């Protein structure tokens, strides 16, 4: 067996803390099309801007825009953390 | 450029004019382009569950006449921005000769994919990098020359609000549309030479295969192809086969479009360091728990109070003017024209009561709320409120944006029904409108207070409101469980906050108000006439006798209370006035409410009145917005809830 590089740790957007940045690697169905229309595609860089009360939508920054994603949508997105 | 102030063209010459379609993501200022180009602001009627209207204006640009078609804001050609059809259906319906793509100059990477998709259709595309003023505040300038090279088409830096570059961009699109029309006229399937492909060999091969299929004869493709709107668009000459194929293969092509867009944005944007604009800071705060939630509560209270106070003051003023001037005139003229007293009095109910109802509800409450809603929409605050309230309203099957109409319903239900247009699906609008009709408006609140507080005490009045609100929340939970479908997941771009443009706000509020007047006036007049006849002919006594046993058994109330609840359908304020009037006729002398019913009966009466069938103006709004069946369903449900709640309370209070 040849030595392999450890895979970069994956961070689920739903559990990322406010201020965390991640490069999107996974966008699961069924929200992939909807997210793609907003530009949330593999390779996109997201920053968690804030969370709303009562487990409401998470607000992320993508480039110069802010997107509100409900919990089930955020759960479909994961990526590599960026310092 | 001037609007349709030119001599009316013949039908043939108008049909021959080149067509330019305005395409862009939501909130990018397309409508401002249409307004500037045609010199008239427009508000389109596009709401979920309604047929999408394409606004088409004849314009005159640098010596050329053309049609400019405004399409709903969309994020991609296969997006479903309004109504039930994907965006490209609307685009094909518009049959443009050129497309004017309006984009946010400060966010090119997210706006260019749509422009690339439009370019792929094989139609001439003009690109307007709009909102340059906002981009500049964020330290972004666009190199229009470089972007034009990359897009292989004209690029204009524009600022729709100030009018900068709009005329040039529109004129450029009209010129290209006229050119294309001249070239393609008479040909069956126009084929633009088009820019170089951005797609790799494999995707290009798939495109060629799909394009080839779209050129085949129907007969060789079987029945399925016969209903293919893309095939129809190709064979009608609206789209080239390759252009139609790019729509069919959007899922394959989109990642390449986004990748190219990111690269092109990087090559054409020039950045400089600037402090964060105040509007962006306020926008961030508006969706944070602090100070976002206190700000939301303040805005909601303001919305409620302004509808209640401004509406109340205006209603009182208009009513006093009407009763001092128009009512006496009508009272003199109508009996002189109609000699039969019963009919004359019924007509007076319709003309005097019905029109006064429109005047005292329509202008004060409806117009006030529309102005407020237009300000909240135009400023971009509505999306912030939507996000903050999303979770709380989610349990009722509604998105957070339902908060504004539902809260405003406490002032008046009628504008709140129209306010449900901010909801995106028909299911949301049904649930939202149902809840709006259950929220006690100012008139129903007055009935609850006047019927309960003097006889059962203020605590009982508060308890009555608590019961109504509890029933409303339970009804929302029930509707969410029973109405098929589920709330779509929230993926919402938060619009930047902007100062509302007074002209846009006024035009939007006026357009909605006009629809209300057109829809509600005939129903108010007809409803008032029928109730007037029932009252004047004395039929209400027969009705009281017929329903008396049922009202007594189910609600523990006297028969005339049942009739008064029915008559309150005209205007909820009448629930108490009519009860006193009926009692005077029935008892032969003027009677106070306390003589007519016990405090427990008044408590039940107030709650049943508050929950039962919405007033006729609300019903007219429901019918206009959601259709007759939905309006009947909502009215029936509120009646069932009112009677059910009343029956339970009557038994708990020992009056039935």
Helix and strand tally (H, E) in chain A? 2, 6
Mean pLDDT of the region B510-522: 77
Using only the alpha carbons of chain B, give its radius of gyration: 29
More confident position, B560 or B430: B430
* Nearest by Cα to B191 from B247, B239, B248: B239
Residue B527 pLDDT > 80, yes or no?
no
Work out the burial of residue A55: count CB atoms within 10 Å of its CB; fewer than 13 is exposed, 13-18 middle, 19 or more buried: exposed
A70, B490: Cβ pair inside 8 Å? yes
Confidence of residue B53 (pLDDT cuts 50, 70, 90): low
A66 reaches B (C-beta below 8 A): yes
pLDDT at B224: 53
> Which residues have a Cβ under 8 Å from the Cβ of B149 and sit 6 or more positions away?
none
Six-digit token string for B453: 């507080």
* Nearest by Cα to B407 from B430, B382, B378: B382
More confident position, B85 or B2: B85
Could you report how far apart the first and last alpha carbons of chain A are, in Å? 32
pLDDT digits (tens, 9 = 90+) for B27-46: 888 878 888 888 776 554 44
Give B-chain residues touching A72 at CB under 8 angstroms. Answer: 489
Cβ distance B374 to B421 under 8 Å?
A: no
Residue B339 pLDDT > 60, yes or no?
yes
B284, A49: Cβ pair inside 8 Å? yes
B489, A63: Cβ pair inside 8 Å? no
Residue B168 pLDDT > 60, yes or no?
yes
Among A37, A41, A63, beta carbon nearest to B107: A63
Residue A7 pLDDT > 70, yes or no?
no
Query: How many CB pairs (< 8 A) connect A and B?
Result: 98
pLDDT at B83: 61
Confidence of residue B432 (pLDDT cuts 50, 70, 90): very high
A37 reaches B (C-beta below 8 A): yes
pLDDT digits (tens, 9 = 90+) for B599-656: 999 999 999 999 998 888 899 889 988 999 999 999 999 999 999 999 999 999 999 8
Q: How far is A3 from chain B (nearest CA, A)?
A: 33
Q: How far is A27 from chain B (nearest CA, A)?
A: 13
CA nearest A70 in B: which residue? Answer: B490
Residue B142 pLDDT > 80, yes or no?
yes
The residues with which B100 forms a beta bridge, in sequence order, are B22, B126
pLDDT at B268: 96
Confidence of residue B221 (pLDDT cuts 50, 70, 90): low
Q: From edge to edge, which strands make up the β-sheet containing B98-104?
A: B55-61, B64-70, B19-24, B98-104, B125-130, B155-157
Cβ distance A22 to A81 under 8 Å?
A: yes
Residue A3 pLDDT > 50, yes or no?
no
A1 reaches B (C-beta below 8 A): no
pLDDT at B8: 42
A50 reaches B (C-beta below 8 A): yes
Confidence of residue B1 (pLDDT cuts 50, 70, 90): very low
CA nearest B257 in A: which residue? Answer: A39
B492, A68: Cβ pair inside 8 Å? yes
Confidence of residue B284 (pLDDT cuts 50, 70, 90): confident
CA nearest A69 in B: which residue? Answer: B491
> Rounded distance, CA B528 to CA B536, Å?
12
pLDDT at B43: 55
pLDDT digits (tens, 9 = 90+) for B353-393: 778 877 776 677 778 877 887 888 788 887 888 888 888 88
> Which residues have a Cβ under 8 Å from the Cβ of B469 and sit 6 or more positions away?
none
pLDDT at B650: 96
Mean pLDDT of the region A7-27: 88
pLDDT at A21: 95
Among A64, A65, A73, beta carbon nearest to B489: A73
The residues with which A47 forms a beta bridge, in sequence order, are A21, A61
A18 reaches B (C-beta below 8 A): no
Q: Which residue has the tokens 């005077």?
A: B584
Give B-chain residues touching A62 at CB under 8 angstroms. Answer: 110
Mean pLDDT of the region B477-492: 85
Calculate the alpha carbon distances from A28 to A35, A78, B613 in Å: 10, 9, 45
Query: What residues does each domain of chain A span?
Result: 11-82
Give A-chain residues touching B424 at CB under 8 angstroms. Answer: none
Lowest mean pLDDT among B68-72, B506-510, B543-547: B506-510
Give B-chain residues touching A68 at CB under 8 angstroms. Answer: 287, 383, 386-387, 390, 490-492, 494
Mean pLDDT of the region B394-400: 86
A54 reaches B (C-beta below 8 A): yes
B493, A33: Cβ pair inside 8 Å? no
B493, A67: Cβ pair inside 8 Å? yes
Residue B80 pLDDT > 50, yes or no?
yes
Q: Which CATH superfamily is domain A11-82 in?
A: Ferrous iron transport protein A (FeoA) (2.30.30.90)
Cis ω for the linkage preceding A30 (within 30 of 0):
yes
> Rounded distance, CA B344 to CA B342, Å?
6
Mean pLDDT of the region B307-329: 87
Among A43, A64, A67, beta carbon nearest to B138: A64
Lowest mean pLDDT among A31-45, B19-33, B493-507: B493-507
Residue B402 CA from chain centroid, whole number: 12
Indicate the helix (H) or strand (E) that contains A49: strand A45-51
Q: Which residue has the tokens 């709006």?
A: B436
Indicate the helix (H) or strand (E) that contains B513: helix B502-536
* Nearest by Cα to B82 from B383, B424, B399, B421: B424
pLDDT at B51: 42
Six-digit token string for B8: 């009316």
Residues of B with CB under 8 A from a CB of A: 75-76, 79, 106-107, 109-110, 113, 138, 251, 254-255, 258-259, 283-284, 287-289, 292-293, 383, 386-388, 390-392, 394, 400, 489-494
pLDDT at B591: 67
Confidence of residue B219 (pLDDT cuts 50, 70, 90): low
Mean pLDDT of the region A32-55: 89
Give A-chain residues touching B109 at CB under 8 angstroms. Answer: 39, 63
Confidence of residue B189 (pLDDT cuts 50, 70, 90): very low
Confidence of residue B3 (pLDDT cuts 50, 70, 90): very low
More confident position, B307 or B108: B108
pLDDT at B52: 52
Please state the length of chain B. Answer: 656
pLDDT at B510: 85
Mean pLDDT of the region A58-80: 91
Six-digit token string for B199: 């797609």
Using only the alpha carbons of chain A, give its radius of gyration: 13
Question: How many Cβ atoms from other residues are within 10 Å of residue B480's Cβ?
Answer: 18
Confidence of residue B228 (pLDDT cuts 50, 70, 90): confident
Residue B114 pLDDT > 70, yes or no?
yes
Lowest mean pLDDT among B131-140, B272-281, B409-418, B576-585: B576-585
A29 reaches B (C-beta below 8 A): no
* Nearest by Cα to B35 from B43, B47, B27, B46: B43
Residue B401 pLDDT > 80, yes or no?
no
Q: Report the residue of A65, A69, A71, A77 to disrupt the B interface, i.e. the one with the largest count of B CBs within 10 Å.
A: A65
| Count of CA atoms in the C-beta half-sphere (13 A) of A60 | 31
Among A39, A49, A52, beta carbon nearest to B391: A52
> Rounded distance, CA B534 to CA B346, Å?
8
B388, A52: Cβ pair inside 8 Å? yes
> Rounded distance, CA B109 to CA B558, Å?
69
Among A62, A64, A69, beta carbon nearest to B490: A69
All domains of chain B in start order, with CATH = 18-271 (3.40.50.300), 277-656 (no CATH)
A68 reaches B (C-beta below 8 A): yes
B110, A62: Cβ pair inside 8 Å? yes
pLDDT at B63: 87
Residue B18 pLDDT > 90, yes or no?
yes
Among B289, B489, B493, beta carbon nearest to A31: B489
pLDDT at B82: 64
pLDDT at B645: 97
ipTM attached to this prediction:
0.90
pLDDT at B12: 43
More confident position, B129 or B357: B129
pLDDT at B50: 41
With DSSP H G I counted as helix, E B as strand and the rest as coil, what are the percentages for chain B, rounded to 5? 65, 5, 25
Share above pLDDT 90 across residues of chain B, in percent, rounded to a whole number? 39
pLDDT digits (tens, 9 = 90+) for B245-279: 999 999 899 999 999 999 999 999 999 999 988 88
> Rounded distance, CA B164 to CA B592, Å?
68
More confident position, B400 or A76: A76
Q: Reduce the secondary structure of B202-248 to three states and give it as a string.
A: HHHHHHHHHHHHHHCCHHHHCHHHHCCHHHHHHHCCCCCHHHHHHHH
Task: Give the 3-state secondary structure of residue A15.
Answer: helix
> Rounded distance, CA B512 to CA B422, Å?
13
Could you report how far apart the first and last alpha carbons of chain B are, in Å? 73
Cβ distance B400 to B300 under 8 Å?
A: no
Work out the burial of residue B540: count CB atoms within 10 Å of its CB; fewer than 13 is exposed, 13-18 middle, 19 or more buried: buried
Confidence of residue B15 (pLDDT cuts 50, 70, 90): confident
Six-digit token string for B340: 């039969």
């Amino acid at each position: 067996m040849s030595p392999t590089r450890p895979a970069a740790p994956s961070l689920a957007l739903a559990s990322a803390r406010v201020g965390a940045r991640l490069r999107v690697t996974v966008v699961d169905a069924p929200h992939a099309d909807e997210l793609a229309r907003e530009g949330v595609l593999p390779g996109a860089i997201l920053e968690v801007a804030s969370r709303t009360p009562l487990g409401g939508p998470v607000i992320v920054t993508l480039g110069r825009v802010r997107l509100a994603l409900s919990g089930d949508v955020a759960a479909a997105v994961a990526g590599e953390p960026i310092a | 450029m001037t609007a349709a102030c030119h001599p009316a063209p013949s039908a043939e010459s108008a049909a021959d004019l080149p067509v330019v379609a305005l395409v862009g993501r939501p909130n990018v200022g397309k409508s401002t382009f249409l307004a500037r180009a045609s010199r008239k602001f427009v508000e389109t009627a596009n709401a979920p569950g309604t047929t999408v209207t394409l606004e088409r204006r004849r314009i005159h640009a640098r010596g050329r006449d053309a049609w400019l078609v405004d399409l709903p804001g969309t994020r991609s050609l296969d997006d479903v921005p309004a109504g039930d059809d994907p965006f490209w259906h609307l685009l094909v319906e518009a049959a443009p000769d050129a497309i004017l793509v309006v984009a946010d100059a400060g966010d090119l990477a997210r706006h260019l994919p749509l422009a690339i998709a439009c370019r792929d259709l094989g139609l001439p595309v003009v690109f307007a990098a709009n909102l340059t003023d906002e981009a500049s505040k964020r330290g972004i300038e666009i190199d229009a020359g470089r972007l034009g090279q990359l897009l292989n088409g004209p690029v204009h830096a524009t600022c729709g609000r100030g009018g900068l570059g709009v005329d040039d961009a529109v004129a450029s699109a009209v010129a290209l549309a006229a050119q294309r029309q001249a070239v393609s006229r008479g040909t069956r399937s126009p084929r633009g030479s088009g820019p170089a492909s951005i797609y790799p060999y494999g995707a290009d091969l798939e495109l060629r295969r799909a394009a080839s299929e779209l050129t085949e004869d129907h007969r060789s493709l079987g029945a399925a192809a016969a209903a293919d709107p893309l095939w129809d668009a190709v064979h009608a000459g609206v789209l080239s086969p390759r252009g139609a194929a790019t729509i069919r293969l959007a899922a394959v092509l989109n990642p390449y479009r986004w990748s190219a867009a990111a690269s092109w944005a990087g090559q054409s944007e020039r950045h400089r360091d600037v402090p964060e604009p105040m509007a962006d800071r306020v926008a961030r705060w508006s969706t944070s728990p602090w100070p976002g939630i206190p700000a939301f509560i303040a805005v909601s209270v303001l919305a409620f109070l302004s509808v209640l106070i401004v509406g109340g003051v205006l209603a009182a003023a208009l009513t006093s003017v009407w009763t001092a001037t128009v009512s006496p005139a009508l009272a003199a003229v109508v009996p002189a024209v109609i000699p039969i007293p019963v009919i004359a009095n019924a007509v007076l109910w319709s003309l005097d009561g019905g029109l006064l109802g429109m005047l005292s509800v329509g202008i004060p409450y409806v117009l006030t709320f529309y102005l407020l809603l237009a300000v909240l929409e135009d400023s971009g605050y509505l999306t912030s409120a939507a996000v903050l309230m999303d979770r709380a309203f989610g349990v009722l099957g509604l998105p957070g944006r339902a908060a504004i109409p539902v809260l405003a319903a406490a002032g008046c239900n009628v504008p709140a029904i129209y306010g449900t247009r901010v909801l995106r699906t028909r299911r949301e609008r049904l649930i939202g409108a149902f809840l709006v009709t259950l929220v006690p408006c100012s008139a129903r609140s007055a009935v609850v207070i006047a019927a309960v507080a003097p006889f059962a005490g203020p605590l009982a009045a508060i308890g009555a409101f608590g019961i109504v609100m509890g029933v409303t929340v339970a009804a929302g939970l029930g509707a969410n469980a029973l109405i098929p479908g589920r709330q779509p997941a929230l993926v919402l771009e938060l619009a930047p906050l902007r100062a509302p443009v007074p002209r846009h706000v006024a035009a939007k509020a006026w357009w909605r108000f006009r629809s209300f007047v057109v829809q509600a006036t005939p129903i108010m007049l007809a409803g008032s006439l029928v109730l007037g006849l029932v009252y004047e002919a004395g039929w209400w006594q027969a009705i009281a006798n017929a329903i008396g046993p049922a009202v007594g058994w189910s609600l523990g109330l006297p028969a005339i209370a049942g009739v008064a609840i029915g008559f309150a359908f005209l205007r909820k304020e009448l629930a108490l006035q009519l009860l006193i009037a009926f009692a005077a006729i029935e008892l032969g002398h003027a009677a106070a409410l306390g003589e007519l019913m016990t405090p427990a009966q008044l408590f039940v009466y107030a709650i049943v009145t508050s929950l039962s069938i919405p007033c006729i103006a609300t019903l007219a709004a429901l019918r206009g917005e959601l259709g007759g069946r939905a309006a009947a369903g909502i009215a029936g449900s509120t009646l069932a809830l009112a009677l059910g709640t009343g029956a339970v309370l009557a038994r708990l209070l020992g009056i039935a």
